Amino acid sequence: MAEDRPQIYLLTPPSFDLDIFPQTLSRVLAAQEVACIRLALASRDEDAVMRAADAVRLVAHEHDVALVIEDHIQLVERQGLDGVHLSDGARSVRAARKALGPDAIVGSFCGASKHDGMGAGEAGADYVVFGPVGETGLGHGTRAERDLFAWWSEMIEVPVVAEGALTEELVRDLAPVTDFFGIGEEIWSSDDPVAALARLVAAMG
């Protein structure tokens, strides 16, 4: 494995079956080296989120992989998670860092905004995410272009994640200018997530 190859940052599906997904996740983690998992649930049902967090945490920590949760800062310590991923750019980073302390992981989704990314980094984010990098009808539709990653990688020390509608072609193109690939639906929508992830990893070079 090339030393400078990007690492995998795995996103869970927005909803999943607690009887099936943990085993699938375990197979994926056994097959590839994953740096971090994000619990990226659509649900606002606290009980459902906590049950999902418990199930995923057991698998993640069994494989020695960090687990962060999207936006639910108050559940990080309660559920024994490793940190939080914030979806509102730089706005909540400072408060999250203050609430969770220096050792927790705090990440920030910054769309295609260099300004938000820099603000998040200055506020104490451990990484920033730019995306979507591919064609998708989700969000504002503004793609994070390769130029943004190239500039960031050259100028800014904070690690950067490329995510959103990734294809093998995009992975090949962005691999030299990103630290992580945020991979989720790209593999979970496949009949064989392990094989789907292997194809994306192969494209990293």
Q: Examine residue 31 and state whether it is found in any structural domain, yes or no.
A: yes
- For residue 122, being part of any structural domain is answered with no
User: What's the confidence (pLDDT) of residue 138?
Assistant: 61
Angle formed at CA 128 by CA 84 and CA 163, multiple of 5 degrees:
95
The answer as to whether 155 is a domain residue is yes
Give average pLDDT by consecutive 10-residue segment, the chain, 205 residues: 80 97 98 98 94 98 98 96 96 97 97 97 98 80 93 97 97 98 97 98 95
Say if 36 falls within a structural domain. yes
Q: Domain holding 40: CATH number?
A: 3.20.20.70
Predicted pLDDT at 151:
98
How many domains does one find in the chain? Answer: 1
* pLDDT the model gives residue 85: 98
Is residue 132 reached through a cis peptide bond, with omega within 30 degrees of 0 on the bond before it? yes
Both tokens of residue 115?
Answer: 């300004």
Structural domain containing residue 74: 7-84+129-203
Q: Is residue 96 part of a domain?
A: no
Copy the structure tokens of residue 31. 């097959």
The pLDDT score that the predictor gives to residue 3 is: 56
The predicted model scores a pTM of 0.96
